[in-house]
Amino acid sequence: MDKKEGSILIVDDNQSVLSSLELFLKYKFKEVITVSNPNKLHQLISSKEIDIVLLDMNFSAGINTGNEGIFWLNEILKINPETVVVLITAYGDSELAVKAIKSGAFDFIEKPWNNQKLLGTLHAALELRKSKQKVKILERQKDTLKQNRSKETQMIYHSKEMIEIMRTVSKVAKTDANVLILGENGTGKELIAQKIHELSSRKNELFLSVDLTSLSENLFESELFGHMKGSFTDSKEDRVGKFEAANGGTLFLDEIGNLPYVMQAKLLSVLQNNEITRIGSNTPIPIDIRIVTATNKDLNQLVSENLFREDLIYRINTVKITLPPLRERKDDIIPLTNHYLISFSTKYNKPGLKINNQALEKILSYKWPGNIRELKHTIEKAVILSESNTLTINDFVFDNSIKSNTEIDKPISLEEGEKLIIKNALERNNWNISETAKELKIGRQTLYRKIDSYDI
């Protein structure tokens, strides 16, 4: 070992053996604990983080069967199965060694021991202990993620556009086909990916989400494929990548349109071969995952600009789902608003909070360039700042960046002029449709049609 790390507990009834081993190993391990009475094992293993136990096999005078060592080996593993036990005895017996290994011992050392052989065995034992801890941590993370995903993803929609999309989701989820989800930011692409996972045969396995824009080129392979200890600077331990962690489940690669071109070939290779290789290793690891990707970019345009590989599009685009922006699914705006109102009223302890009709009209008329995400944040902000039991039109302020007539310094068409007049009237009336319609001397339905026609 290059540096002192790990803790070792030495259990032997011979004090001279304890002293000799402690003197040799205290310069090799971070902590060395010695004990002559195995009855103290329960308390020590339960109360301290012990990596390795170096355990004598015989404690009673005149008895050399090794049964005592086997007994205490089993007791140690009952308390902590991740503890690595190395047995040591003065009696060389291959049958006893086999029995010890079958009972769960890592290895078997004879007295008198060779220092270098002993150290090599303990070093290997410590590496096994680290691997066991990593597996335990990974399993704990998987359990946590499964619990976090145990609640069904709630989809709020009434529009015919979303009803049709959810029909497609239901069909494709039952297969292992790779899915590409397109749509503007904030339209709910990750929710759709989660729903695909929940409706699939992989629903009891992990759903992992990776934002590819957050990965720099030098971290891309490590994060997705993992690495081995010492494979590059600061790689102080083995690391499991996202592909390996999601094995058996679904991996959602968000913003794939931002993936650097040089990294696209590596991703394509993994998808074609269904295996990954950690950085610093030559051993391929087979993977069985479902890939769902998403982007707000036009991938075909990126292909024409030599920014995206056409063969990668074919690999990820078995089924394509395009989510419409919120302004094109207006039937969902009020149901979503009511959903977030209830959610945030509960969160911020403001029960019974309502929105009046004028405020709902304003919400319905707004274009929502930030889509569902913007709507959610807008409702949350209104709930937080509200001072009464009813949210009014004044609780919702949007940045429409509307220019007034005085800012127009060029000729405009009749259509452009009407659009500008309507915008200004809506702004003056705080987006109150009824008041705006009265000012313009037109009906509310006519005003709604013009708002839609001019995409206001």
Domain ranges of the chain: 7-135, 162-324, 327-395, 405-453
Q: Are 84 and 101 in contact (CB under 8 A)?
A: no
Q: What is the pLDDT of residue 408?
A: 40
- CB neighbour list of residue 315: distance below 8 Å, 6 or more residues apart: 178, 268, 271, 272
Q: Tell me the CA distances in angstroms from 287 to 241, 271, 277, 356, one per residue in order.
A: 11, 9, 10, 53
Q: What is 162-324's CATH topology? A: Rossmann fold (3.40.50)
Q: Determine the residue type at 392.
A: T
User: May I ask the CATH class of domain 7-135?
Assistant: alpha beta
Task: Report whether CATH 3.20.20.60 matches the domain 405-453.
Answer: no
Q: Mean pLDDT for each 10-residue chunk of the chain (456 residues)? A: 78 90 90 91 86 85 69 89 86 70 86 89 88 71 55 84 96 96 95 96 92 80 85 75 91 93 91 91 90 94 93 95 95 96 94 93 93 94 93 83 40 75 80 83 82 79
Q: How many residues does the chain have?
A: 456
Q: Which of 164, 140, 133, 180 is nearest to 7 (CA)?
A: 133
Q: Are 433 and 444 in contact (CB under 8 A)?
A: yes
Q: What is the pLDDT of residue 93?
A: 62
Residue written as token pair 């913003």 = 255
Q: Are 30 and 4 in contact (CB under 8 A)?
A: yes
Which tokens is 161 given? 């556009």
Question: Do 162-324 and 7-135 have the same topology in CATH?
Answer: yes
Residue written as token pair 């090794």 = 66
Separation CA 354–CA 338 (nearest Å):
9
Give the 3-state secondary structure of residue 130: helix
**H or E stretch covering 95:** helix 94-102
The b-or-e profile of 323-351 (16+ CB within 10 A means b, else e) is bbbbbebbebbeebbebbbeebbeeeeee
Q: What is the pLDDT of residue 59?
A: 76
Pairing of strands 250-254, 290-295: parallel
Separation CA 184–CA 422 (nearest Å):
26
Summarised one tens digit per residue, pLDDT across range 109-145 is: 888 888 998 999 998 989 888 887 777 766 665 665 5
Q: Compute the chain's Rg from CA coordinates.
A: 33
CATH for 327-395 (3.30.540.10, 1.10.8.60, 1.10.10.10, 1.10.569.10): 1.10.8.60
Separation CA 217–CA 221 (nearest Å):
8
